[in-house]
Structure 1
Amino acid sequence: MDANPLGALGGVVGGLLGGAANLLDNLTRGTAPSSGGHFVVNHDNVLAAAKIIQNQVDELKDTFDDAHDDLEIVPPGDDEVSQRMTEAWNDILIRNEDSYAVRVQEYILGLNKLVSQLRATAKDYGYNEEQITSALGGSRVV
């Protein structure tokens, strides 16, 4: 276990922040954002938007899955202070309902929901399931 309690978490959070920035940059590049920094999804870009977000989901999920086991901190010593400090850190990182691990999983779930919505929108625009699945590189969000 890494002595730095934020080592693995820092990588995951850094990946999330960098990924989110890339996601927004890719979505707004080539589309005309309206005021407030929103982008417009239309027939021409709905599948590209879904693909960008699906790629981000896949990357973030892989990063999180790889780092998850390393998020738990082991006590640096057998003394009471080390034990209590470790418990507190583990609560914040992985155990509490609002832990960083749970927040990362909720963020990934939210992106999955967005991909599902974009898939539904693509169907509304007339794309069939084969075209959608092909555009997403075989990715299927349920």
Structure 2
Amino acid sequence: MTQESAGADAALSAVAGVAGGAIGAAVGAFRSASAFLDGLTSGPSTQSFHVNKDNVLKAGAIIQDQAEVLNRALKKAEARLDVDVDSASAGIVSANIAGLWNRRLTVGEDSYVGRIRKYVESLDGLSQQLRESAKQYGYTEEDITATFGPTK
């Protein structure tokens, strides 16, 4: 967690402590979700798999497809993730909290959106590695392009 995210979490906790009730419950649920995501996305992955000539194209197709599906879903959802509060009608505290939520949800590399974007980039990188492996295994450019699409 970055220093900015830690600061946002501390501010959310302080407001939850003062406000209590529904805001406190919402902030508590939000922090639980944040902690869960932190656990999923921190540190290097320990998963590995082995490819060979027989499965490199199939593995590549799966990874490429997942990167594309996740990227489309992220683009579709990203605009809807912003918490938009009018400070004139909702008050300055609600507007400030909305800003803190937005930083955690959508702004910067350590936000949920930023982490998902990094994950998509890692899938794209893995797909590129599998593309190179397929070349080394002797697959034709037609086979590779049919699986991975045109070179980006």
Same fold (TM over 0.5): yes
- 1:135 Cα deviation from its structure 2 partner: 2.9
TM-score, normalising length: structure 2: 0.65
- Structure 1 unaligned regions, length at least 5: 11-16, 18-35
Look up the SS of the partner of 2:83 in the other structure.
Answer: coil
Find the counterpart in structure 2 of residue 14 from structure 1. none
Which of residues 93, 97, 104 is equivalent to 2:109? 97
Work out which of the residue numbers 123, 134, 138 in structure 2 matches 1:126: 138
Listed as ranges, the matches of 1:10-89 within 5 Å are 38-75=48-85, 77-89=89-101
Give % identity: 38
2:128 corresponds, among 113, 116, 121, to 116
Contact 1:93 1:99 in 2 (8 A): yes
What TM-score do the two structures reach when normalised by structure 1? 0.69
**Inter-partner Cα distance in structure 2 for 1:42 and 1:93:** 39
Structure 2: stretches of 5+ with no match in the other structure: 1-25, 34-39, 41-45
Between the two proteins, the alignment pairs up a number of residues equal to: 112
Distance 1:117 1:109 in 2: 12
CA offsets 1:57-108 (integer angstroms, 9 cap, x no match):
1110111111011011111743011011001001101113311111111100
Question: Residues 85 and 94 of structure 2 are in contact (CA less than 8 Å); yes or no, is this contact kept in structure 1?
Answer: yes
Deviation at 1:37, TM superposition (A): 5.8
Residue 115 of structure 1 contacts residue 141 of structure 1 at CA under 8 Å; is this kept in 2? no
